[in-house]
Structures are given as structure tokens and as C-alpha cells.
């Protein structure tokens, strides 16, 4: 029975293109093509003399003997089936061409075909000696079976926990099949290069092991230092206007994927501070070889929950008919009138929570305006605040506006979630209004903005109604004013008051 279950699992992995050679042989009689593939690399089907995919493969050299063999994915809509990636994503994989050939991770199942083509091209007929598995999440691990089927002699190196997870996904124990467990501090010589390993639990799964090449100063950082977005041919961050074009993608990637684990990220950054890093090769996004300090500093801010833009405000509203949106806009306007720059306002029903989580990590002050729904927060706001808490957001200032048509309750509900988060400071009293903001609501919102800013806000006066107009019947000159003085004289033709007629 157990064998039958495993067989079904195996068939699933074959269908996914992830069956391993050992799993193949353990399963008894198997389809001939796979058995052949597993038996002898020289008989592996490779691409039958033709490229399976258009083009010539996309092997890029990071250094003289380190190749990038990853794949851009622009077809993906939702990364991890939850995060929109309108600019795509890259699944990075690296091949070290030393006396031993060393593969660092594979790719997502959707990218296995072009990845195998890159691997074959980069190897140029050499065998694949080592596969270092740093992270077992399937966006990097789905290609393990395909690699083992083509290169059955490859020796796997992975953490103890990674070996367990490999067995869970592939019904294959890499250690019982010639692999080796790597531990922090252990070294591996591949010829000219010496690799050492750095445990990075929860960055982003518990089994993660980063690799540091002590010879060239390359840190293979697994998910850390990744960025959403396809590479588009730009292998290195310094080949792009990263700060302008990609920082938001990097922030959204970090905060949503590992934002919860700031303590663990700081622990890895502490370890990294004692080694000389020349370049960082992450599993997503561009490689870093310049301005590393700037990017690491961003990580320190995110991992310690310190805002990057401590003078900025973000206003988040949940509104059904626009009245609470109106209140949010009034607050944003008062903050701007009071001197705050770059105030941002977001509709929580429309903006993806992953963008709002990234924004919440960016700024110090968050304002929430929410209508009452089922005696609770409006559902998208409730989901968002729970998401903030799940991502361990902390150390922020917040202000609240609530509305309702008979019994406003959203304020208390928001406060209950926010006040439970670590080191949160409420600024001002909750502003409450019924159905639609009125003049009194505006006053309260102005007072709230003043509390946030710690300074008075000069509210611009509303434009006055147009004055009455009088037309000179002699020359056509227009005079504006409620009345005309008895001694008024037209400045154009000199006619007296009696020559003017009221026109509006």
C-alpha cells in the first residue's frame, strides 16, 4: 500500500517534471524513457539536437567562472498565488564552473525547460558534480527531480531539514542516496573556490542555508535581497535605475515574504557583517555588486521595523459610498496644508494588501478611516489590519476616523487590533461621524492633523462668492463690488456712478 501511495506521488512528480532518478529507480518498472534517462546521463534526452525553446539559451556570466542560468517569468500573475507581479519575476540559479561543477538551486516548475537548456549550455558537456540546495520552496526546488534525472551522479548538499523536506516533496531521501548534510561553518572545496555555509532559518523557511564563496566573496543569499520583477536582460542591479524603478518591488518582496521574521533577518545580517562581500546573488531579482551598503541598510530598516520615510503619512480608507473616503481626503488635505509632504491615500478595497504592507513598512504615520460594517470594520480593512499584525508590523504611529449611520463601531475594532501590535502609538482621539462628514467633523479632523503634525494647520479659506458686477454704460468698464460709492468715477472714461448698471 505504501508503495502504491508513493507510486501515485511519483506519477504526480513525473507529471510536474520533478521526478528524481532515485525515485525513478525505487519505483520498479517505469516508462522506458524515464528509466533510460535515469540510468545514463549520456542517454538523457536533452533536447534531441534541437532546442526545446526558441533562442540559444540565456547563460550569463557573473564572474569568469560563475554562470547565471536562471529564467524570467512574465506569464505569472500571482507570485505564491497571492502577490501580483505585473513586472514578472525571475527564478535565479547559478552554476559554478570550478574543478567541480556546482549548481546552486533550481527553478519553479514553469521554468524547468529553459532552465535545463541553460544548464546544459553552461556545462558545455561537463558533468554536474554538486547540487547545493539552499531553499526548498518549490519556486526554487521544483527542478530538482529533472536535474537528477539528467545528471543522476550529482551529489546533493543540503541542510538536515532540507533533506526532510526533499523527502516530503519527492519521496526521495538525498542523504541515503549519496548526499551530504551541510551545517553552518562547514567548508566545501570545489577546486579554486572554497564554499562555506551560513544557516538562515526563517529567511524565508526554516531549512534555509546561504552559501558564501570565500574565494571570490560571493554571497548566495537564497531569498534574501530578492526583488520582484523579471531581469529583462539586466543581470546586475547597477545596470538599472534600481532606486527609482525597483525599490518598491524590493520592499514589497521583502515585507510580504519575510517581513514577519525581522529578528531572524537581523541575525543573518549580523553574521554577514563579519565577512567581506563582493557580490550578492539572490534567488530573485538582480545581482548586487555595487552599492551593497545602501541595499543592506534598507534591509536593516525593514528588519528592525524602523520606517524609511519617518516624515511621511499614509492614509488608508475603507468606504462604501464615498463619505468615509471624503473624510480620508480631508485628513490628507489638512496634513498637506500643515506641511507634510508626499501624503499618500489608498482605498483598501482596491489596492492589493501587499502594496499596503510595503507602504506601512515604509512610513512612520498611518491613518485609518473606516466605515462600520456588521458592527465591525469594513471587511477589506479588517483583513488588512490582520495582515499587518501577521507581518509583525510594529513601531508605528496611527490615527483613526470611524463612521456609521446608526452605531459606529469600526474605531474601537481598529484600535483593538492596532494597539495589540508592538510599540504602536495612537495619536489624537478617534474622529467619529454619522453617515457624512459635516463642518464639525472637519474641525475634528483638522484638530487630528494638528496632533499628528504637532503644529497648527492654517486651513485655506474657501473661495468667496463672486462679487456683484456693474457695467459702465459709456465705455463698458466692469466694476466689482456690492455697492458703488456716490463719488465713484469710471477709471477709463470718467463717467460718474449714475452711468453704471448692475449686471450680476
- Which of residues 282 and 404 has its CB atom nearest to ligand FEO in the complex? 282
**Which residues have CB under 8 Å from 85's CB, separation 6+?**
76, 77, 78, 79, 228, 229
Query: Cα–Cα distances in Å, from 124 out to 103, 127, 251?
Result: 14, 9, 37
Position 284 contacts ligand FEO (CB under 6 A): yes
Query: Cα–Cα distances in Å, from 114 out to 54, 79, 108, 283?
Result: 9, 19, 11, 16
Which residue pairs, CB below 8 angstroms and at least 24 apart, start in 2-6? 6/171
Taking CB under 6 A as the criterion, the residue among 105, 117, 120, 137 binding ligand FEO is: 137
Residue 9: CB minimum distance to ligand FEO, A: 22
What are the cell numbers at 188?
566545501
Position 362 contacts ligand FEO (CB under 6 A): no
| Residue range at the interface with ligand FEO (CB under 6 A); choices 26-34, 134-142, 189-197, 337-345 | 134-142
Taking CB under 6 A as the criterion, the residue among 72, 105, 117, 223 binding ligand FEO is: 223
Taking CB under 6 A as the criterion, the residue among 117, 139, 325, 402 binding ligand FEO is: 139
Taking CB under 6 A as the criterion, the residue among 109, 135, 252, 364 binding ligand FEO is: 135
Position 207 contacts ligand FEO (CB under 6 A): no
Position 109 contacts ligand FEO (CB under 6 A): no
Residue 260: CB minimum distance to ligand FEO, A: 13
Residue 222: CB minimum distance to ligand FEO, A: 8
Position 200 contacts ligand FEO (CB under 6 A): no
Position 213 contacts ligand FEO (CB under 6 A): no
**Closest-CA residue to 370 (of 339, 400, 396):** 400
Residue 135: CB minimum distance to ligand FEO, A: 6
Q: Is 403 helix (H, G, I), strand (E, B) or coil?
A: strand
Q: Are 156 and 106 in contact (CB under 8 A)?
A: no
Q: Are 47 and 120 in contact (CB under 8 A)?
A: yes
**Closest-CA residue to 166 (of 118, 93, 95, 106):** 106
Q: Are 128 and 103 in contact (CB under 8 A)?
A: yes
**Closest-CA residue to 377 (of 414, 351, 325):** 414
- Which of residues 37 and 108 has its CB atom nearest to ligand FEO in the complex? 108
| Residue range at the interface with ligand FEO (CB under 6 A); choices 137-145, 358-366, 368-376, 488-496 | 137-145
- Which of residues 221 and 430 has its CB atom nearest to ligand FEO in the complex? 221
Q: Are 382 and 413 in contact (CB under 8 A)?
A: yes
* Residues 362, 276: Cα–Cα separation, whole Å: 28
Total residues in contact with ligand FEO, by rule CB under 6 A: 9
* Residues 278, 213: Cα–Cα separation, whole Å: 10
Taking CB under 6 A as the criterion, the residue among 109, 150, 193, 204 binding ligand FEO is: 204
DSSP 8-state symbol, 111: G
Residue 253: CB minimum distance to ligand FEO, A: 9
- Which of residues 27 and 112 has its CB atom nearest to ligand FEO in the complex? 112
Position 140 contacts ligand FEO (CB under 6 A): yes
Give the binding site for ligand FEO (CB under 6 A).
135, 137, 139-140, 204-205, 223, 283-284
Amino acid at each position: 500500500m505504501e508503495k502504491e501511495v508513493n507510486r501515485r506521488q511519483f506519477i504526480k512528480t513525473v507529471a510536474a517534471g520533478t521526478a528524481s532518478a532515485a525515485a525513478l529507480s525505487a519505483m520498479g518498472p517505469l516508462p522506458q524513457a524515464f528509466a533510460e534517462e535515469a540510468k545514463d546521463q549520456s542517454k538523457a534526452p536533452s533536447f534531441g539536437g534541437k532546442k526545446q525553446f526558441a533562442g540559444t539559451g540565456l547563460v550569463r556570466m557573473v564572474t569568469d567562472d560563475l554562470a547565471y542560468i536562471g529564467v524570467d517569468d512574465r506569464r505569472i500573475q500571482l507570485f505564491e498565488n497571492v502577490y501580483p507581479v505585473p513586472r514578472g519575476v525571475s527564478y535565479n540559479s547559478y552554476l559554478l564552473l570550478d574543478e567541480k561543477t556546482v549548481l546552486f538551486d533550481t527553478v519553479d516548475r514553469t521554468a524547468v525547460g529553459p532552465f535545463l537548456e541553460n544548464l546544459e549550455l553552461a556545462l558545455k558537456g561537463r558533468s554536474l558534480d554538486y547540487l547545493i540546495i539552499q531553499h526548498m520552496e518549490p519556486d526554487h526546488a521544483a527542478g530538482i527531480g529533472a536535474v537528477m534525472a539528467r545528471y543522476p551522479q550529482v551529489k546533493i548538499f543540503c541542510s538536515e531539514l532540507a533533506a526532510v523536506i526533499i523527502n516530503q516533496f519527492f519521496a526521495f531521501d538525498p542523504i541515503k542516496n549519496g548526499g551530504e548534510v551541510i551545517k553552518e561553518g562547514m567548508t566545501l572545496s570545489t577546486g579554486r573556490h572554497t564554499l562555506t555555509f551560513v544557516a538562515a532559518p526563517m529567511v524565508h523557511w526554516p531549512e534555509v542555508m546561504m552559501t558564501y564563496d570565500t574565494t571570490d566573496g560571493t554571497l548566495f543569499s537564497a531569498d534574501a535581497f530578492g526583488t520582484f520583477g523579471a531581469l529583462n536582460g539586466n543581470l546586475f542591479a547597477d545596470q538599472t535605475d534600481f532606486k527609482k524603478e525597483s525599490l518598491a518591488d524590493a520592499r514589497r518582496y521583502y515585507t510580504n515574504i519575510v517581513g514577519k521574521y525581522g529578528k531572524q533577518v537581523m541575525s543573518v545580517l549580523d553574521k554577514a557583517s563579519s565577512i567581506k562581500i563582493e557580490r550578492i546573488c539572490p534567488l530573485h531579482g538582480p545581482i548586487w555588486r555595487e552599492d551593497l551598503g545602501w541595499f543592506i541598510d534598507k534591509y536593516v530598516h525593514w528588519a528592525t521595523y524602523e520606517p524609511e520615510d519617518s516624515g511621511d503619512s499614509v492614509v488608508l480608507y475603507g468606504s462604501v459610498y464615498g463619505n468615509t473616503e471624503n473624510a480620508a481626503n480631508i485628513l490628507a488635505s489638512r496634513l498637506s496644508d500643515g506641511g507634510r509632504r508626499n501624503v499618500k491615500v489608498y482605498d483598501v478595497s482596491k489596492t492589493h494588501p501587499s502594496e499596503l504592507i510595503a507602504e506601512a513598512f515604509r512610513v512612520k504615520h498611518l491613518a485609518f478611516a473606516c466605515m462600520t460594517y456588521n458592527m465591525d470594520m469594513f471587511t477589506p480593512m479588517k483583513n488588512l489590519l490582520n495582515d499587518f499584525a501577521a507581518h509583525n508590523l510594529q513601531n508605528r504611529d496611527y490615527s483613526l476616523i470611524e463612521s456609521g449611520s446608526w452605531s459606529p463601531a469600526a474605531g474601537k475594532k481598529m484600535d483593538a487590533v492596532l494597539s495589540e501590535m508592538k510599540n504602536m502609538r495612537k495619536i489624537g482621539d478617534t474622529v467619529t461621524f454619522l453617515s457624512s462628514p459635516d463642518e464639525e467633523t472637519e474641525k475634528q479632523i483638522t484638530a487630528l492633523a494638528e496632533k499628528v503634525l504637532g503644529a497648527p494647520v492654517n486651513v485655506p479659506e474657501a473661495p468667496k462668492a463672486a462679487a456683484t458686477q456693474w457695467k459702465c454704460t459709456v465705455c463698458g468698464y466692469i466694476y466689482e463690488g456690492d455697492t458703488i460709492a456716490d463719488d465713484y468715477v469710471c477709471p477709463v472714461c470718467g463717467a460718474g456712478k449714475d452711468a453704471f448698471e448692475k449686471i450680476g
